[in-house]
Amino acid sequence: MRTGWNPTRRNKNIGTKARGHGADNRLVIPESWHELKCFYERLENYVCVKRIVGNREIPFFVEPTRPDWFYPCTLDDICTVLQHCQPKDIEAFDFIVFRQPTRKQRILSPVWGRAIFCFDISTYRGAAIVLEAQNSEPIHWDKSLSPERVRELERLRTDGYEFRQTRKGFELHVTPSTLRNTVLYRTLLHEIGHHIDYKNSSEQEWDSRTPKEKEDCAHCYAYETFELLQRKGVVPFSAKLDAQFLQETGLRLEWFCP
């Protein structure tokens, strides 16, 4: 005789996220089972260019950009900034990578750049600064902002971005000039700060610190270095785009021009 009790029918979680509904359709960055590299280490058809900065040679790995995407600063721009940094500072990393993110990576992991302490590419393995290609689409931020996001909003305002408040949050108007200010004068120095901090810390010290402490240290280095270069009259400067150099090294003009 049936009791009338059916726990399956009475479970309110059936068909909801709590029971895994939609988990198979979740947007994720695909990873390969056959390759141990992270998604930001997998570059395609890249060009390797070596430049002399101070007393050392720095390899640059440049991945082609997709249509309507570009790198906000050139190799010459970066070398100009690095030449006026402390020699010990630029020894904290081994090479610089320009990479084109996929659409999913842009949605799920949007960044200006990354400090990678162990990066494998070609025959090279070491500490890398990764700078990502950008486009001219507006940037949308929610109204709910953490204290750190508020500070970042002020940094972007200093970089020259125009803000428009919408019903759901903020819309940042993007231009090649504002992107260049962010990537060249702040992100590049920020990632160098991470590498210096990591190099000067033991593994135990590094692991014991919070992400906020690490970010604050990198922001501090970027701010102080920019202020020093600005007082010396090094920055800001006009974009350095040598079409002949690009052609000779296998790079393309459209990768750096919107």
Is pLDDT of 120 > 80? Answer: yes
Q: Is residue 184, in this structure, part of any structural domain at all? A: yes
Question: Other C-beta atoms within 10 Å of 192: how many?
Answer: 24
The string of pLDDT tens digits covering residues 63-98 is 999 999 999 999 999 999 999 999 999 999 999 999
pLDDT at residue 122, as a whole number: 85
Q: Does residue 89 form part of some domain?
A: yes
Q: Classify residue 207 by its DSSP letter.
A: H
At residue 1, does pLDDT exceed 60? no
User: Minimal CA–CA distance to 98: which of 31, 172, 191, 223?
Assistant: 191
Structure tokens at 45: 């058809």
Whether pLDDT at 230 is above 70? yes
pLDDT of residue 7 exceeding 80: no
**7-16, 39-48, 189-198: which has the minimum mean pLDDT?**
7-16
Residue of 130, 133, 114 lying closest to 67 (CA atoms) = 133
Predicted pLDDT of residue 222: 98
Domain count along the chain: 1
In a domain, 78, yes or no: yes
Query: Which pLDDT score is estimated for 114?
Result: 96
Instruction: Report which listed range, 5-14, 88-97, 101-110, 141-150, is most confident.
Output: 88-97
Nearest-angstrom CA–CA distance, 177 and 258 = 11
pLDDT of res. 180 = 97
In a domain, 69, yes or no: yes
Distances in Å between the Cα of 203 and the Cα atoms of 113, 196, 200, 246 are 23, 14, 10, 40
Give 99's strand partners: 132
Q: Are 105 and 87 a contacting pair, CB within 8 Å?
A: no
Share of the chain above pLDDT 90, in %: 71
pLDDT higher than 80, residue 193? yes
Instruction: Determine, yes or no, domain membership for 3.
Output: no
The strands making up 124-132's β-sheet, listed across from edge to edge, are 47-53, 56-62, 95-99, 124-132, 113-121
pLDDT of residue 162: 93
Render the burial of 120-156: b for 16+ CB within 10 Å, e for the rest: ebeeeeebbbbbbbbeeeeeebeeeeeeeeeeebeeb
Higher pLDDT, 98 or 16: 98
The mean of the pLDDT values for the chain is 90
Give yes or no for a contact between 156 and 130, defined as CB atoms under 8 angstroms apart: no
Q: Is residue 207 part of a domain?
A: yes
Work out the pLDDT band at 244, boundaries 50, 70, 90: very high
- Pairing outcome for strands 139-142 and 169-173: antiparallel
pLDDT score of 3: 64
- Looking at the predicted structure, is the pLDDT value of residue 184 above 70? yes
Q: Is the pTM of this model over 0.85?
A: yes
Is there a domain that residue 109 lies in?
Answer: yes
Interhelix angle 75-83/188-199, nearest 10 degrees: 50
Average pLDDT (108-112) is: 89
In a domain, 148, yes or no: no
How confident is residue 21, by pLDDT bands cut at 50, 70 and 90? low
Tell me the residue range of the domain where 179 lies: 39-137+174-255
